[in-house]
Structure 1
Amino acid sequence: MSSAIRQIPLDTATHHHAHDYHQIVIGLRGQAEFEIEGLGGSISALSGCIVPANHMHYYAGTGDNHQLILDLPGQAPALTGFHHELAKLFEAPRFFTLDEPLKRYLDFLLLELSASPNHASAQNDRLAATLLGCLHARLAEADASTYQRLDLPRLDRFIAHHLSSRLSVGDLAREACLSEAHFRHCFRAQTGLSPWQYVRRKRLEATRRLLVESPLPLSEIADLTGYATQSALSHAFRAAFGHAPSQYRKLHQLGTLSVTDT
Structure 2
Amino acid sequence: MPSAIHLVPLDTTTKHHDHDHHQIVIGVDGHAEFEIEGLGGSIAPLSGCIVPASHVHYYEGVGDNRHLILNLPPTSFPLAGAQQELSRLFDAPLFFSLDEALTRYLDFLVQELARLQEGAPQPLMHQDMLASTFLSCLNVRMQPSRQHSSGLKRIDLDALDRYIQRHLSQRLNVAHLARQACLSEAHFNDCFRRQTGITPYQYLLTRRLRAARHLLLSTRLPLSEIADQTGFSSQSALSHAFRRSFGHPPSALRRPTPPTILTSDG
**TM-score, normalised with respect to structure 1:** 0.74
Q: Distance between the aligned counterparts of 2:57 and 2:101, measured in 1?
A: 29
* Residue deviations 1:222-247 (CA, integer Å, cap 9, x gap): 34323344443233223323444344
CA distance in 1 between counterparts of 2:185 and 2:85 reads 23
Contact 2:212 2:230 in 1 (8 A): yes
Question: Is the Cα contact below 8 Å between 1:40 and 1:166 reproduced in 2?
Answer: no
- 1:212, 1:185 → 2: CA distance? 35
Matched, 1:102 2:97: no
Gapped regions of structure 2 (runs ≥ 5): 259-266
What's the counterpart of residue 17 of structure 1? 17
Which of residues 143, 147, 172 in structure 2 aligns to 1:140? Answer: 143
Q: Which residue of 1 aligns with 2:55?
A: 55
Cross-structure match for 2:261 = none
Is 1:245 aligned to 2:247, yes or no? no
CA distance in 1, matches of 2:251, 2:42: 33
Contact 2:7 2:113 in 1 (8 A): no
**Larger deviation: 206-215 or 146-155?**
146-155
Q: Which moved more, 1:178-187 or 1:113-122?
A: 178-187
Structure 1 pair 51–115 and aligned structure 2 pair: CA distance change class (3 A): same
Distance 1:166 1:16, change over 3 A: farther
1:67 aligns to 2:72 (yes or no)? no
8 Å Cα contact 2:38/2:234 also seen in 1 = no
> Mean alpha-carbon deviation: is it higher for 132-141 or for 238-247?
238-247
Checking the alignment, whether the CA contact within 8 Å between 2:39 and 2:232 is kept in structure 1 is no
Instruction: Give per-residue Cα distances to partners, 1:171-219, cap 9 Å, x unaligned.
Output: 5567778765566566667766544223212211111211221234544
The one-letter code matched in structure 1 to 2:38 is: G
Q: Kindly state the Cα deviation for residue 49 of structure 1 after the two structures are TM-superposed.
A: 1.3
Q: Which amino acid aligns with 1:133?
A: S
Greater shift after overlay, 81-90 or 155-164? 155-164
2:91 and 2:185 mapped to 1: Cα distance?
17
State the distance in 2 between where 1:74 and 1:65 align: 28
1:70 & 1:19 partners in 2: Cα distance?
13
Contact kept in structure 2, 1:35 and 1:59, CA below 8 Å:
yes
Measured in 2, the distance between the counterparts of 1:125 and 1:43 equals 24
Task: Find the residue that maps to 2:143 and give its secondary structure.
Answer: helix
Q: Map 1:165-184; keep pairs closer than 5 Å.
A: 165-170=170-175
Q: What is the Cα-based RMSD across aligned positions, in Å?
A: 3.6
Question: 1:16·1:58 contact (CA, 8 Å) conserved in 2?
Answer: yes
- Which among 127, 131, 156 is matched to residue 128 of structure 1? 131
Work out the number of aligned pairs and report it: 253
Is the 1:39–1:167 Cα contact (8 Å) retained in structure 2?
A: no
1:116 is paired with a residue of what secondary structure? helix
Contact 2:37 2:240 in 1 (8 A): no
1:227 aligns with 2:232: yes
TM-score, normalised to structure 2, is 0.73
Preserved contact between residue 102 and residue 134 of structure 1 (Cα < 8 Å): yes
Aligned partners of 2:245 and 2:201: how far apart in 1? 14
> In the alignment, what sits opposite 1:260?
none
Q: Is the 8 A contact 2:24 2:48 kept in 1?
A: yes
Per-residue deviation at 1:23?
A: 0.5
Greater Cα shift, 156-165 or 77-86: 156-165
Aligned-partner SS, 1:35: strand
> 1-side partners of 2:202 and 2:146: how far apart?
16
CA 1:221–1:171: 2 relative to 1, 3 Å: same
What residue is the counterpart of 2:206 in the other structure? 201
Query: Aligned residue for 1:212?
Result: 217
